């Protein structure tokens, strides 16, 4: 089952939920079905003899803007 991020239009809370494609998600905070699916930052591992982590976020602002090499895969 895939994990999705949602924002509730009623109570404005954000949450993650495992959702089967035959399910209709419900806000765990208020029970509303008026949900907006948010864009999620993907994360995972690279397959191969040596698995490399893939970062799930950009570096902090003190490191400058995101750009090439932002995923921090060791070189």
Domains located in the chain, CATH noted: 1-40 (2.20.28), 42-75 (no CATH)
- Tell me the per-residue pLDDT of 28-72, one tens digit each, with 9 for 90 and over: 999 999 999 998 766 555 555 454 455 555 556 666 666 655 554
The reported pLDDT for the residue numbered 63 is 61
Per-residue pLDDT, averaged over 1-17, amounts to: 91
* Ordered DSSP codes for the chain: --EEEEEETTT--EEEEE--TT-----TTT----EEEPPPPP-EEE-SSS-EEE-SSPPPGGG-S--TTTT----
């Amino acid at each position: 089952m895939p994990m999705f991020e949602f924002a509730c239009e009623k109570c404005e809370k954000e949450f993650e939920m495992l959702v089967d494609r035959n399910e209709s998600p419900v806000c765990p905070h208020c029970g509303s079905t008026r949900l907006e699916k948010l864009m999620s930052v993907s994360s995972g591992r690279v397959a191969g003899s040596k698995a490399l982590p893939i970062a799930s976020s950009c570096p902090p602002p003190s490191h400058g803007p995101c750009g090439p090499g932002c995923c921090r895969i060791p070189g």
